[in-house]
Amino acid sequence: MERRELLKMIALLTGGVMIGGNALLTGCSPENGKMKSKLVFSPQDIDFLDEVADTILPATKSPGAKAAKVGSWMTVMVNDCYEEKDQKIFKEGIDQLNQACEKMYGTAFMKASTVQRLSLLTAMDKEAKEYQSKKNHDALPAHYFTMMKQLTLLGYFTSEIGCTKALRYIAVPGRFQGTVPYKKGDKAWA
């Protein structure tokens, strides 16, 4: 699958434009030779992002997003591919998501139960989709949860675990097969 097609699919699944998509297509190169500022993510931030990602894509028959170390991958992508305004939104989103959990359940996200986390992220997803549908794309910034969800999906399905355990993967296909039998429940192709 080509990178451009993957970005389109993630944007469709999350109901919005892929934040940082242009940078991903151009290889995350700095504009005009000017380096972007780098955010500092603590080990606690990375653990938090791993838990958010694992709530979005938990372990089932295949390992979850936490096993693919999506949290640390997110921090690299935010630092290397996001514009400064989007970096700030993403970083502040960690605190906002934690505050939303405290408001909703009286506990920090990291101490919340699996059911509470899922319920919170479902509410955040709904909020992000409503925000996306109302916003003027140039006037308002992206929603932090949309960024987290997009990076979770992209990070997981481009990781070794996502490609080889969650998807069907053939490293070097031997020949072209125009039609492949599909049975309900089969994994998608990587």
Domain ranges of the chain: 3-27+39-165
The confidence band for 18, taking pLDDT boundaries of 50, 70 and 90, is low
Which tens digits make up the pLDDT trace of 34-56? 556 688 999 999 999 999 999 99
User: How far, rounded to the nearest angstrom, does the alpha carbon of residue 82 sit from its chain's CA centroid?
Assistant: 13
Rounded Cα distance between 137 and 53, Å, is 26
Rounded Cα distance between 52 and 118, Å, is 9
Q: Which pLDDT score, from 0 to 100, does residue 150 have? A: 95
Is the CB of residue 45 less than 8 Å from the CB of residue 87? no
pTM: 0.73
Q: How far lies 16's CA from each of 2, 27, 76, in Å?
A: 19, 21, 22
Instruction: Identify how many contiguous H helices and E strands the chain contains and give both numbers.
Output: 8, 0
> What is the dihedral angle through the alpha carbons of 88, 53, 151, 183, rounded to the nearest 10 degrees?
-160
Nearest by Cα to 92 from 15, 144, 132: 144
Q: Which pLDDT score, from 0 to 100, does residue 24 have? A: 52
Which tens digits make up the pLDDT trace of 153-184? 999 999 989 888 888 777 766 666 677 787 88
For residue 42, the tally of other CB atoms under 10 A from its CB is 10
**First-residue to last-residue Cα distance in the chain:** 7
Q: Which pLDDT score, from 0 to 100, does residue 28 have? A: 55
b/e per residue, 56-93, with b = 16+ CB within 10 A? bbeeeebbbbbbbbbbbbbbebbbbbbeeebbbbbbeb
